Amino acid sequence: MGRSPIENIFEMSKYDDLPVYKASYDLLLEIFRFTKEFNKEFKYTVGESLKKETLELITLIYRANSRVPNSKGHVDKPDISDGCPTACCGRS
């Protein structure tokens, strides 16, 4: 038997079960570990840029998976005011 629209919405909200999300999050953790060893000059330029871009990737994965079809079946843009719920992003 097929899923109801409510069940589909609930399934979509499980962004943290997605392999791409898990891989991106693992990458972010590895970047944090790796950049600790950077010398000061690169830590605050290249290191911060890597962290920022990876956080943006995680946020985009979350937002893309949070899109819900409206009554006509079209996907509305997500409400970006809710931000990424991941603690690592520092957003609420």
Instruction: Examine residue 1 and state whether it is found in any structural domain, yes or no.
Output: no
How high is the pLDDT of residue 92? 37
Is the residue at 10 inside a domain? no
pLDDT per position as a tens digit, 29-62: 999 999 999 998 898 899 999 999 999 999 998 8
- Model pTM greater than 0.85? no
Structural domains counted in the chain: 1
Judged against a pLDDT cut of 50, whether residue 22 lies above it is answered with yes
13: three-class secondary structure by DSSP: coil
- List the domain range (segments joined by +) for residue 20: 15-68+82-89
- The token duo for 77 is 């843009």
pLDDT for res 2: 59
Residue 22: inside a domain: yes
Which pLDDT does position 27 carry in this prediction?
Answer: 95
